[in-house]
Structure 1
Amino acid sequence: MLTTEPFLLNPGWNPGHTAEPRETEDIRRFHETLPGYAVTPLLTLPAIAETLGLGAVLVKDESLRLGLPAFKMLGASWAVHRALQRSTGDRPRLVTATDGNHGRAVARMAALMKLPATIVIPRGVSERAIDLIRAEGAEVRVLDVSYDDAVRQAAALADADPDALLVQDTSWPGYEDVPQWIVDGYATLFDEAAEQAAELGAGIDLVVVPAGVGSLAHAAVTFARSRTDCRVIAVEPEVADCLRASLAAGALTTVPTGQTNMAGLNCGTPAYLAWPDLQRGLVGAVVVDDEAATRAVADLAAEGLDAGPCGAAGLAALKILAAEPARSRFGLGPDTRVLLLNTEGSSASG
């Protein structure tokens, strides 16, 4: 049974682990070959850290990544690269379902590779987001279905076309390689952040990560395991709290979803592939409402950061975590150094 509090301490969290090595050099080198690659900024927010009684608040700013206003290109590009290495077709069509940024990244990668792409979009996605995906040159199919149903439709579409490659950022039994490559692609973000934090003389004790199906959270947990003392907490919209529900139940759980300004996090089922690692590796989950996300957008803007609601969700969650009773339960204190992820800019497609 879910708590009425906006946070949940994961009963399945396994805090004891030794640092596990990560082999991510090839991924970073691949990203460096893409047009527009640059290390995104890591900013410090000393005033917010002081207000919240924390040692440091760092923000990895993904509001412009590889020419797009979100981090998604990191995963989509690496997954397409790996999938094409395995493909036997000369000019495969890329297919995916999206509620915004992932689909635009797949469409952008298709354009770079001179490949056709079909993007399936569920209800609730803005016309502006749809137009941005079309502008990449992709065929767009807008369906009056939920995100989870759009994923099923995209998978069926790809299955019916022998020349199609499904590039989906969620997983299910039998469809695991591409979603894992997407997770792997996000390693570049965390590798950059670790190097930048070290240059600032700061460590990373806690990562607060926005979570839809959980692919970025999966990458965050994998990163944390490579360090001796780093924890990860997920943040979700209150109308799409599938990770909180799953952690509470101790099993993969689907929840009904509603409308939210955090469209990119509006997912009802965690990724099958990610779930085992999230169950063991997440310290907990926090849910935030649209109003809190909107306030956090304004707070980050006052600090000179361009963030959309999904990108600001981490700060909204941190305000809850830094206050009692969550502060004591999660062990935050005046020495805690927190990494937030501004996953999208205000011009992102969701």
Structure 2
Amino acid sequence: MLPIADEAVGHDPSARALAESRQIAAPGANYVLRNPLADRTAAGLPDAVCRGFHASLPGFAATPVREALATAEALGVAKVLVKDESDRLGLPSFKILGAAWAVCRELAERWRLGDAAGLRFDDLVRAAVDHPGLTLVAPTDGNHGRAVAHMASLLGLPAVVLMPAGTAQDRIDAIAAEGAEVRVTEFGYDDTVRMAAAMADDTHAVISDTSWPEYTRAPQDVIDGYATVVGEVTDLIAAGALPEPDVVAAQIGVGGFAAAVARGFAHRPGRLMVGVEPLDAACVTASVAVGRIISLPGEQRSAMAGLNCGTPSDIAWPDISTGFDAFSVIDDASAEQAMRLLAEDGIAAGESGAAGLAGLLGNRGDLGLTSSDTVLVFLTEGPTDARNYRRVVGGMEE
């Protein structure tokens, strides 16, 4: 059962009723929460202003949408469409899109370069030469920090990336390989974010994908940057190259990516929007259950490392709390099943990358999936922990 303390619910009878009415199975089991706050018309709309800047990044190309036949059969649906973000601009994750746009907006303001919407990557490269002495800082559980480090490397800027205790060595090494200084803290993700926030000053620009009081622009820019992922899918639907999905699933974390998916699909005709979280880190589901943002106690230790977040982002909250019809909360075994199924379809997915599909697999009966459904999931990362991928799926070289 979700660890919602009495002080989180407080004395609000309506919040107490929400908490007590959750559709939760036995402790430790997968479950579905039908969203009592759902109002898809209230979700925002995508802001596509970032797409011109993204197109100017070296090596930019749209990522593919793949049909997963074996996965569809196992899920019992007509089609499973996988937006494959396992190779985006040479990185194993979509995160570079949010990080790149947030960095662009940060530098445009700091260096007075004008409207970021009119900037291209080469403009930032030239400006960086004229503005030495700035370090990019990012708190991360993996892919976001690597993306910020990659942008810093491309621009010739130093980077410091803070990571929570227990981070897999492969993820640490990948960020260090981008030229960043990696600092592994003694704390979980939320406290690591607080440590990064304290570093902000005239020579350190903090590029975080979660928000806190008086720090909202960069997380908003990150969400806006993810509009490119969603836009590439809706472009294909508009062109008749893909069917309109009946079911859309998105993994959550602090909520930035899920907010972008909600903005892109909540207003469309699909009948079911599903947000997915690990049992150990279901901070959005817990918050929705009581009707406001709360923090989970302790540290989050799911193998879906990119989703190990204890507090939803304030900026993402309006879209994720209204834009999804249901939340599917799953264990690590469901993520592993999803990784193996995708591998049968020739798609290599990391633990967090497979989580959207895992949310449907782990609770497909309660979600009411049908044999006529077309399902859209987002593979948000490829394998980033080689040892664990070999354990779960096999076949990955040292």
TM-score (norm 2): 0.81
Q: Distance in 2 between matches of 1:234 and 1:19?
A: 14
Cα drift, residue 88 of structure 1? 3.6
1:30 aligns with 2:53: yes
Show structure 2 runs of 5+ residues with no match. Answer: 1-18, 26-30, 113-130, 389-398
* Aligned match of 1:13: 38
What is the identity percentage for the equivalent residue pairs of Structure 1 and Structure 2?
44
Across the aligned residues of Structure 1 and Structure 2, the Cα RMSD in angstroms comes to 2.1
Q: Distance in 1 between matches of 2:351 and 2:43?
A: 33
Q: Distance in 2 between matches of 1:88 and 1:200?
A: 42
- Partner amino acid for 2:86? S
* Aligned match of 2:323: 281
1:49 aligns with 2:72: yes
Alignment of 1:60-209 (within 5 A): 60-88=83-111, 90-91=131-132, 92-158=134-200, 161-197=201-237, 198-209=239-250
Counterpart secondary structure, 2:248: strand
- Partner amino acid for 1:33? S
Q: Deviations over 1:193-232 (max 9, x none)?
A: 1223454341123221111100000101111245344643
When Rg is computed on C-alpha atoms for both structures, the one with the higher figure is 2
Show structure 1 runs of 5+ residues with no match. Answer: none
* Aligned match of 1:214: 255
Q: Distance in 2 between matches of 1:179 and 1:194?
A: 23
Counterpart secondary structure, 1:311: coil
Q: Deviations over 1:232-287 (max 9, x none)?
A: 31111111110110111111011133322111110000001111221111212111
Q: Distance in 1 between matches of 2:92 and 2:370?
A: 33
Q: Deviations over 1:283-337 (max 9, x none)?
A: 12111111111121111001000101111111211123432x331xxxx433332
Kept in 1: contact 2:334–2:362 (CA 8 A): no
Kept in 2: contact 1:117–1:138 (CA 8 A): yes
Q: Distance in 1 between matches of 2:304 and 2:224?
A: 24
Counterpart secondary structure, 1:144: coil
The alignment covers a number of residue pairs equal to 341
- Partner amino acid for 2:136? L
Q: Distance in 2 between matches of 1:215 and 1:44?
A: 25
Q: 1:345 to 1:19 in 2, by over 3 A?
A: closer
Kept in 1: contact 2:97–2:225 (CA 8 A): yes
Cα drift, residue 68 of structure 1? 0.2
Q: Distance in 2 between matches of 1:187 and 1:140?
A: 29
1:244 aligns with 2:285: yes
* Aligned match of 1:4: 24
Kept in 2: contact 1:224–1:230 (CA 8 A): no
Q: 1:236 to 1:23 in 2, by over 3 A?
A: closer
TM-score (norm 1): 0.91
Q: Distance in 2 between matches of 1:226 and 1:113?
A: 37
